[in-house]
Amino acid sequence: MSRASHRAYETIRSMILSGELPAGGQLAEEALAERCGVSRTPVRDALRRLESDLLVTRTDTQRSFVADWSLDDVADAFELRAILEGRAARRAAERMTEAALERIRAANLRISEAIHQPEPDVSGFLDGNRDFHSEILETAGSRRLSALLSTLIEQPVVWRTAHHYSQEALLRSHSEHEELIAAFVRRDGAWAEAIMAGHILRAYHAYSDAHRGLAQLDSSRGVN
């Protein structure tokens, strides 16, 4: 991928994940090219890559849209994450170093600081949560797991809904991270795998609860 294509990919991906480009919205190549400061060819390359990432869908007429994930799609993604991230946690525990452990602890500390604000800092929580799970995946040292998980972790619909999580759900997530750290301290792969699988499946139910609440809010506002 050329430098221009990579720039277009990163720009469009960021816009999708932030919700600036909403789910179901059509992606006009000319407008995106202007926004990214590139020609239409790099935008086409970027859209093909985003399609493989499951962030973009393409119709039979070759029009591109931001992927609109259903609740069933998200449930399927979380179930796969539970299996794959559970495996990653096992590998990470067995390969854990003190340096990696400190980075994982630091990420969870940032999460704690974000959610213990008078008004929880959900963006801070999401950033810390991404770093926490990324450090575990990095420590696991499996390129195949990294590739498989790259299309499952950052669905834009999950990021949007996370801003409607209850504080109880955020606190529970942090607490489960502390349990994972305890398993990593002991280099216990089986324990880490079990905690991670349960953590991801519980996270789906937090997402589902928030998703229903957001759908009701959108309905009351007349948002389709």
Quick one: average pLDDT of 137-156?
Answer: 84
**Whether 118 and 207 share a structural domain:** yes
pLDDT mean over 192-209 = 91
Q: What is the mean predicted confidence (pLDDT) over 53-66?
A: 87
CA 11 → CA 7, 123, 157, distances in Å?
6, 19, 18
Statement to judge: residues 81 and 137 lie in one domain: yes
Q: Summarize pLDDT for 103-136 with one digit per residue, the tens.
A: 999 999 999 999 999 899 988 998 899 899 999 9
Final residue of a structural domain among 66, 100, 119: 66
Question: Is residue 64 pLDDT above 50, yes or no?
Answer: yes
- Which has the higher per-residue pLDDT, 62 or 164? 62
User: Amino acid identity of 88?
Assistant: A
Comparing 19 with 72, which gets the higher pLDDT?
72
Domain extent, residue 163, equals 71-221
- Domain C-terminal end among 46, 66, 86: 66
The pLDDT value recorded for residue 123 is 85
Q: What is the CATH number of the domain that holds 190?
A: 1.20.120.530
pLDDT at 21 over 60: yes
Residues whose CB is less than 8 angstroms from the CB of residue 144 and which lie 6 or more positions away in sequence, other chains included: none
Tokens 């399927």 belong to residue: 76
Q: Model-level pTM?
A: 0.75
Domain boundary among 20, 38, 66: 66
Q: Count of domains in the chain? A: 2
**pLDDT at residue 48, rounded to an integer:** 93
pLDDT bucket at 42, cuts 50 / 70 / 90: very high
Are 41 and 141 part of one and the same domain? no
Do 58 and 129 belong together in one domain?
no
For residues 136 and 31, membership in a common domain is answered with no
pLDDT at 70: 76
Q: Which two tokens stand for residue 216?
A: 């009701």
Rounded to whole angstroms, the Cα distance separating 47 from 175 reads: 38
The token pair that represents 18 in the structure block? 């932030």
